[in-house]
Homo-oligomer: A and B are copies of this chain.
Amino acid sequence: MRFLHTSDWHLGRIFHGIHLTDDQAHILDQFIKLIHDAKPDAVLIAGDIYDRSVPPHEAVNLLDEVLSRILIDYRVPVIVIAGNHDSPQRLGFGHRLLAGRGLYIVSQINNGLVPVVLQDEHGPVYFCAVPYVEPPVVREKLGAADVHDHDRAMAMLVRHLKDQVPRGARTVALAHAYVTGGEGSESERPLSIGGADTVDAAYFQSFHYAALGHLHKPQSAGNEHIRYAGSLMKYSFSEAKHKKSVTLVEMDARGRTTYETVSLSPRRDVRCLAGYLKDILAGPQNGENKEDYIMVTLKDTGAILDAIGKLREVYPNVLHIERPHITVGGELHGPGGDHRRLGEVDLFASFFTQVTGTEINRVQEEVFTEIVEQVYRNEREVRV
Closest B residue by C-beta to A55: B384
Q: Which of A97-105, A283-291, A337-345 makes up part of the contact surface?
A: A97-105
Binds B, one of A87-95, A178-186, A222-230, A265-273: A87-95
Cβ of A56 < 8 Å from any Cβ of B? yes
For residue A254, CB closer than 8 A to chain B, the reply is no
A54 to chain B, nearest CB (A): 5
Across the interface, do A97 and B96 meet the contact criterion of CB distance under 8 Å?
A: no
Q: Is the CB of B61 within 8 A of A89?
A: yes
Are A384 and B67 neighbours in the complex by a CB distance under 8 Å? Answer: no
Cβ 8 A contact of A92, one of B64, B92, B381, B382: B64
Q: Is B93 in contact with A101, judged by CB distance below 8 angstroms?
A: no
**In whole Å, how far is A46's beta carbon from the nearest beta carbon of chain B?**
20
Q: Is A202 on the interface with B (CB-CB < 8 A)?
A: no
A72 at the interface (CB under 8 A from B): yes
Cβ–Cβ contact B54 & A93, under 8 A: no
Cβ-defined contact, A384 with B54, below 8 A: yes
Instruction: Tell whether, in the assembled complex, residue B56 and residue A383 are in contact, meaning their CB atoms are under 8 Å apart.
Output: yes
Of B60, B61, B89, B97, which contacts A68 at CB under 8 A?
B97
Known interface pairs A54-B384, A384-B56; A94-B98 also in contact (CB < 8 Å): yes
In angstroms, Cα B56 to Cα A63, docked, is: 21
Contact A89 B57 (CB under 8 A): yes
A113 in contact (CB, < 8 A): no
What B residues does A54 contact at CB under 8 A? 54, 384
Which of B92, B101, B382, B384 contacts A100 (CB under 8 A)? B101
Chain B nearest CB from A209 CB (Å) reads 26
Residues of B near A100 (CB, < 8 A) are 100-101
Q: Is the CB of A57 within 8 A of B90?
A: yes
CB distance from A82 to the nearest CB of B (A): 12
Residues of B within 8 A of A92 (CB): 64
Q: Flag whether A144 is at the interface (Cβ < 8 A).
A: no
Is B93 touching A60 in the complex (CB atoms < 8 A)?
A: yes
Identify which of A58, A89, A94, A98 gathers the most chain B CB atoms within 10 Å of its CB.
A94
Interface positions, chain A 30-77, Cβ under 8 Å from B, are 53-54, 56-58, 60-61, 63-64, 67-68, 71-72
Q: A93-B63, A97-B67 are in contact. Are A87 and B57 (CB under 8 A)?
A: yes
Given contacts A54-B384, A384-B54, A384-B384, contact A60 B90 (CB under 8 A): yes
Chain B contacts for A96, CB-based, 8 A? 64, 68, 72
Q: In the complex, how many angstroms separate the beta carbon of A61 from the nearest chain B beta carbon?
A: 5
Chain B residues lying within 8 Å of A90, measured Cβ to Cβ, are: 57, 60
A381 touches B57 (CB 8 A): yes
Q: Once bound together, how far apart are the Cα atoms of A61 and B103, in whole Å? A: 18
- Closest chain B CB from A249 CB (angstroms): 25
27 A–B pairs (Cβ distance < 8 Å), ordered by A: A53-B57, A54-B384, A56-B384, A57-B89, A57-B383, A58-B89, A60-B89, A61-B89, A63-B93, A64-B89, A64-B92, A64-B93, A64-B94, A64-B95, A67-B94, A67-B97, A68-B94, A71-B97, A72-B97, A97-B98, A97-B101, A97-B103, A98-B101, A100-B100, A100-B101, A101-B101, A382-B384
Interchain residue pairs A-B with the least CB separation, the first 7: A57-B89, A97-B101, A68-B96, A54-B384, A61-B89, A60-B89, A64-B93
